[in-house]
Amino acid sequence: MYNWNHTRMKSIICFSFAILTALFLGACSKASPNVGKGMRAIEELDYQAALDCFEQAEEDHEDARQISRGRGIAYMGLASYEQAAECFEETLKLSRGLVESMDYDVNYYLAAAYTKCGRLNDAEATYDAILAMKSDEVEAYFLRGNVRMGLNKADQAEEDFDRVLSMEPRNYERLIQIFQVLDNYGHRETGQAYLKAALDQGSNMSAFDKGRIYFYLEQYQNAYTALEEARSTGGAEAYLYLGRAYEATGDYNYAANVYNAYLAQKTDSAEIYNQLGLCELKRGEYQKALDAFQAGMKVENNEIQQSLSYNEIVAYEYLGEFTRAKVLMETYLQNYPDDANAQREYTFLSTR
């Protein structure tokens, strides 16, 4: 199953296609109509249709840079990362000699493609190029730190993370992302040192920020206290962290009550539905888990549809509905072909 930490790590390590896609969609629609259609197909996860649109765009002599960029994004969606990298390289070669906004955009995509196909040295060099063009790109420092951790360059990665934190000293979301990256690469103590330093320096830190930092420091009693205070004025994330703090100590019943308390007021958080579903699985309430995942999938414009879709399949497995799970897994793998865990699960389902 996909838990909340897994979802957050994917959002940190994987590049967000939707944000960069939106930057050029409007312009493409006017100047290059087939490119615009292709980008809309990408937003709908129909990557093969997008490639067909870009093929037509090429026949109609539309903007060559937009075509190669679009193809690269579509290949990323199809998990064809080497082909994606070739397209982004071609886009940069077609530059008119002046650094444009598209060049930053494409370099980020190119670095993501290199990262996904294991070419971490090339990814690092691409982030170097971005920073050479624009030295205040916080995102590039952060992502280069990610890549350097993968290259076992922990000292250099920490230099990048230190730079990020000096540029965004009160961005506690970013601080937590840095902790999660370090934790993911086996440097949990270093990550927790960053968290402790922030607590020592954050005299004006909100109860919510204190609560989630205490959560990652595994100081759950302190987390309860701060997050209960934050819950009275906070949104979904305060409930999410509070529930997870109780889950961490094995109190799944109270955690489920926390999630349900939020959903009794609002039904706008796919993350709460997902975490409630995971909690219900742990309680052995498989039908309730399925209901929660499916309710989360109905939340418009949610960013964790992949996790919810996978967890829905897991819930069907727990309910013994293996045929239904297999059919859903086939659709899932069409949308997310590079999910190795799902591929293994499909092999299992095929034997049932």
Separation between Cα atoms, residue 184 and residue 94, nearest integer Å: 37
Separation between Cα atoms, residue 64 and residue 73, nearest integer Å: 14
List of domains in the chain: 9-135 (1.25.40.10)
Q: What tens digit of pLDDT does each residue of 129-173 get?
A: 999 989 999 999 999 999 999 999 999 999 999 999 999 999 999
Q: What is the pLDDT of residue 7?
A: 54
Residue 277 CA from chain centroid, whole number:
19
Q: What is the pLDDT of residue 15?
A: 44
What residues of the chain score a pLDDT lower than 50? 11, 13-19, 21-27, 29
Q: What tens digit of pLDDT does each residue of 65-102 get?
A: 999 999 999 999 999 999 999 999 999 999 877 777 78
- Torsion (CA) 103, 108, 109, 115 in degrees, nearest 10: 140
Task: Give the residue from 207, 237, 234, 236 showing the smallest Cα distance to 223.
Answer: 207
Q: Are 287 and 268 in contact (CB under 8 A)?
A: no
Q: What is the pLDDT of residue 345?
A: 87
Task: Give the residue from 59, 63, 41, 58 showing the smallest Cα distance to 50.
Answer: 41
Record the pTM.
0.85
Task: Give the residue from 232, 233, 306, 231 showing the smallest Cα distance to 243.
Answer: 231
Scan for tokens 């999910």, then name that residue.
Answer: 339
Q: Which amino acid is at 73?
A: I
Separation between Cα atoms, residue 72 and residue 117, nearest integer Å: 13
Q: What is the pLDDT of residue 335?
A: 86
Q: What is the CA radius of gyration of the chain?
A: 22
Q: 10 Å Cβ neighbour count for 15?
A: 19
Q: Which amino acid is at 211?
A: G
- H or E stretch including 11? helix 4-13
